Structure 1
Amino acid sequence: MNRAVALRIAACGLMGLGAALLIAALLLSTYTKGKIAKIPLDIDTTLVSDGTGTVFDPASLNSQKFVVDKNVPVTSQQQISVESPSNADVVTLQVGNTVRRTDKQQDNGLLLALVDTVTLDRKTALAVSSDTNPGGSVQKPRAIGDTQPPTNVALPHDGLAYRFPFDTEKKTYPYFDPIAQKAFDANYDGEEDVNGLSTFRFTQNVGYDADGKLVEPVKYASLYGDDADATVTARASLWGLPGDPDEQITMTRYYAAQRTFWVDPVSGTIVKAQEHGFHYYARDALKPEVTFADYKVTTNEQTVESQIASARDEGDVVSLWGRVLPITFTAVGLLALVGGILLGSFTLRAESALIDPGLDDTTGHGFFGRRPTDTGPMPAAEAATEKIPTQRPSDLPPDRPA
């Protein structure tokens, strides 16, 4: 194989490599990123929020009057894990939600408990339903000492739940509230730095208006068959109401909430949250009479750091395949393509010069250094020599034999 053929093969190889890298960059930035930017299937985390509130004392159920304590330390906890069905397209999250007053032990401090299950589209983070899966369920409460396995009640979900989508936008999203059992708007409210991470802030009002005024509270949806915790009838003295102490008064439980989410826009991870929950009993929805739980909690620092680390890990994977590698492949591909074209051009000129040196004499000198013909006398070694003709026999002298 001569040098010209080798150069031609090298040029073709460089151009092929450049084209392949450019195609790979295009696929990585479109198709591959779409396959990677999904909710992980290995979520197993506990989110803790701390705060204070005015809350009911469960022990007072057996007293002469319901007791409501103020400035009580309150903790909200979410235990999130992945359940079936979960695959390449959907993920099912099971979330155990509890709110308890930490100044009381065990069940005496438990205020709220809910096990919520929801199936989400791994790309959009929206709840999905099918014929065999209603998109979500909640677990029926069990009595203390109940040895029967938990029973789930189908609860179709809609909107987002526990996460926002990858590449979160500055817009309003429907966000599901499992207590109210329906979705409410989570409105974009600006950008904010959280421990060095740039986040989008969203706010959600359930039963409140934008000014924090109670306008449309939700009637509490009981999970008990007899609505035991949604409608309560007790003596007026237990409620702490004036008048006949033995009069039976029936009150309905209502619920309202205000939430703020700080969301990593790349991965959709909620890195921080603040919640004001209000559960109360009243005969008129807009006139609270007996508070069950009025609390405000914020994600604690340890949970924030953990969520930020998770968000960055997810974002790094997406960034690697969706931005870093495409940019790198594009740059290297262009260099390879241009290098192949230049090498190919050089090879063609070299072959042309070997076939016809005169074709290369366009710049005043030959490709291989040949001297142009119009630059003056040539050296003697290169000068044309005169050929002396040979005498013919007829020109020989007559006295000399032929």
Structure 2
Amino acid sequence: MSLVLIAVGVFLIVLAPMVRFYAYPKLAVAPPNQRSVTTLVGPNATIFDIATLKEIQTDLTTVVNTTGDESTPDKAPGNVTYVNSTSTNSADGVMRSRDVERMTFDAHTGVANPKCCGDFVSTTEGVETPVTHTGLPAKFPFQTEKKTYDFWDSTLLKSAPIKYQGTATVEGVDVYKFGQTLAPTAYETMDVPLSVLGLPGDETVTADRVYGVTRTLWVEPETGVILKRSEAVTETLNYQGEPRVTLTKVTTGYDDKTVKKNADEYGSQANLLHLVRVTGPQIAFVLGLAMVIAGIVLGRRKSSSGGTRVRELEDANA
């Protein structure tokens, strides 16, 4: 019995680091075959209506379909590619914008891989423009830390610091809260008649599209997945340094169904990862050590007991 205890105990002690350093890295990766649908809602938005050339108030609904390119791990081991197809509709059912973004990033750290694999963005016109992603384009690292990261903005096509702001709970799941504010920035130009800008004359002039956002993300730290998202977006058409038309003004974020689904799915994954990374190895090591000690003690007791019986027999025969 003592040998069995020692053997099992040694096995558990050896198993503990194997689970932590072999099994965990296999699990802590973004899936290459990702398939998900995310819905964001933006009530009481102000947008510029192309049909009437006027600002209107409406509710906006944005749907993001995410699909993984399963060929990427073969071409670039350790990386995954996700394609986000995004469409935004107003309350009257009119599609207000549509774009596609292809992004490649490290499957564990979430950091963009600019060298692979044909990343691009395209707008409503469907023209694909190659883009070099930087920072975190889709998710945070597994074992997210309480620090500042660089997070990608798909409008400005660049990453900027997003700061850790504290802990919170989302649907019972512990999360880290991150915040990012991008000051109004001109990112492209448009040729428009002066009348559209509310100015006299029929002349066509060049105006700047200016975009700013305050972004808040609630991240489950074990998986690095964004469970909840809120963005206060303002986009204006500026002429001669002054905002003349509001193109978009909205605070949009994941709807309740999306938040609940994320919390349920990734909260469970977080528990499994924590079990494999921390709890499991600790239990295996402590239990294994206890069994080895118990086996040694039991073996010594048997040896001592056996020696006593031998002496008793020798005394009896003397």
Q: Which residue of 2 aligns with 1:271?
A: 227
Alignment of 1:33 onto 2:24: yes
Alignment of 1:82 onto 2:74: no
Alignment of 1:67 onto 2:54: yes
Q: Distance in 2 between matches of 1:11 and 1:101?
A: 73
Q: How does 1:57-136 map to 2 (within 5 A)?
A: 57-60=49-52, 66-70=53-57, 72-87=58-73, 89-103=78-92, 105=93, 109-130=94-115, 133=117, 136=119
Q: Which residue of 2 aligns with 1:210?
A: none
Secondary structure of 2:30's counterpart equals: coil
**Contact 2:179–2:216 (CA<8 Å) still a contact in 1?**
yes
Question: How many residue pairs get matched?
Answer: 314
Secondary structure of 1:289's counterpart equals: strand
**Contact 2:61–2:88 (CA<8 Å) still a contact in 1?**
yes
Alignment of 1:179 onto 2:162: no
> In the TM superposition, what is the alpha-carbon distance from 1:350 to its structure 2 partner?
4.1
Name which one, 1 or 2, has greater alpha-carbon Rg. 1
Q: Distance in 2 between matches of 1:138 and 1:337?
A: 59
**Measured at CA, do residues 354 and 161 of structure 1 come closer, stay the same or move farther in structure 2, by a change above 3 Å?**
same
Letter in 2 for 1:231: M
Q: How does 1:180-219 map to 2 (within 5 A)?
A: 180-207=156-183, 214=184, 217-219=185-187
Alignment of 1:239 onto 2:197: yes
Let me know the Cα RMSD of the aligned residues.
2.4
Deviations 1:152-183 (A, max 9, x none): 33211011122111111111110111211100
Alignment of 1:325 onto 2:283: no
Q: Which residue of 2 aligns with 1:139?
A: 122
> In the TM superposition, what is the alpha-carbon distance from 1:151 to its structure 2 partner?
5.7
Secondary structure of 1:12's counterpart equals: helix
**Measured at CA, do residues 291 and 16 of structure 1 come closer, stay the same or move farther in structure 2, by a change above 3 Å?**
same
> In the TM superposition, what is the alpha-carbon distance from 1:249 to its structure 2 partner?
2.8
**Measured at CA, do residues 369 and 122 of structure 1 come closer, stay the same or move farther in structure 2, by a change above 3 Å?**
farther
**Contact 2:33–2:69 (CA<8 Å) still a contact in 1?**
no
Q: Distance in 1 between matches of 2:296 and 2:80?
A: 49
Q: Distance in 1 between matches of 2:123 and 2:215?
A: 25
> In the TM superposition, what is the alpha-carbon distance from 1:11 to its structure 2 partner?
2.7
Q: Distance in 1 between matches of 2:205 and 2:35?
A: 45
* Structure 1 length-normalised TM: 0.72
Q: Which residue of 2 aligns with 1:280?
A: 236
Q: Distance in 2 between matches of 1:140 and 1:84?
A: 24
> In the TM superposition, what is the alpha-carbon distance from 1:58 to its structure 2 partner?
2.1
| Structure 2, gaps ≥5 residues long | none
Deviations 1:251-271 (A, max 9, x none): 121222111001111111111
Q: Percent identity?
A: 24
**Contact 2:220–2:227 (CA<8 Å) still a contact in 1?**
yes
Q: Which residue of 1 aligns with 2:261?
A: 306
Q: Distance in 1 between matches of 2:96 and 2:315?
A: 98
**Measured at CA, do residues 95 and 155 of structure 1 come closer, stay the same or move farther in structure 2, by a change above 3 Å?**
same
**Contact 1:111–1:293 (CA<8 Å) still a contact in 2?**
no
**Contact 1:24–1:326 (CA<8 Å) still a contact in 2?**
yes
Q: Distance in 2 between matches of 1:248 and 1:140?
A: 24
Q: Distance in 2 between matches of 1:293 and 1:55?
A: 4
> In the TM superposition, what is the alpha-carbon distance from 1:354 to its structure 2 partner?
5.7
* Structure 2 length-normalised TM: 0.90
Task: Give 2:307's match in structure 1, choosing from 326, 330, 352.
Answer: 352
Secondary structure of 1:257's counterpart equals: strand
Q: Distance in 2 between matches of 1:194 and 1:290?
A: 37
**Measured at CA, do residues 74 and 370 of structure 1 come closer, stay the same or move farther in structure 2, by a change above 3 Å?**
farther
**Contact 2:98–2:123 (CA<8 Å) still a contact in 1?**
no
**Measured at CA, do residues 238 and 129 of structure 1 come closer, stay the same or move farther in structure 2, by a change above 3 Å?**
closer
